[in-house]
Amino acid sequence: MNKLQIILLGLLITIIASCGKDPEDAGYSEPIAVLNPATNPATTIKGAAINYKVAFTNDEYIDSVQIFLQIDSLGKGYDESKDSMIKKVVYPVGAQSNLQNIESSVMPWIFPNVGKPIYLTFWLRSKNRFYKKNVKLEVL
């Protein structure tokens, strides 16, 4: 091989290697990525705090994030009008970003009977966009 072929081969390898996707970005491809609980539906133990970790991603600055809890003790299913807000974060103009993460836990004020669901609902708001995602938790 001459020098030109070696340089072109090195350039080709560099181009191919730079096309790889960053593995950290793989989990944030949707506007609301619920990282914990990792499944939907998930399970929770009666009497234990519910831990959650969520990544919010948007192509605009995120203005606010809201998290709601709904206890379905009658087993009628999710009803948005019965949500109770457990967390609201409003990002001021200087602290806005396209990516926000929240990790916390909540202790429900009551627990439904075993087998009945609890719903966590995550909302993301930006200037022109609004996203919502529910996670159903079965009580064990």
26 pLDDT tier (thresholds 50, 70, 90):
very low
| Chain segment 77-128, per-residue pLDDT in tens | 899 999 999 999 999 988 889 999 999 999 999 989 998 999 999 999 998 9
Give the mean pLDDT of 17-41.
73
| pLDDT score at 106 | 95
What length is written for the chain? Answer: 140
Using CA atoms in the order 24, 26, 27, 31, what is the torsion angle rounded to 10 degrees?
A: 120
| pLDDT score at 139 | 92
Give the mean pLDDT of 19-46.
77
| Chain segment 78-92, per-residue pLDDT in tens | 999 999 999 999 999
pTM score:
0.76
| 27-139 homologous superfamily | SoxY domain (2.60.40.2470)
| pLDDT score at 27 | 46
3-state secondary structure the chain: CCHHHHHHHHHHHHHHHHCCCCHHHHHHCCCEEEEECCCCCEEECCCCCEEEEEEEECCCCEEEEEEEEEECCCCCCCCHHHCEEEEEEECCHHHCCCEEEEEEEECCCCCCCCCCEEEEEEEEEECCCEEEEEEEEEEC
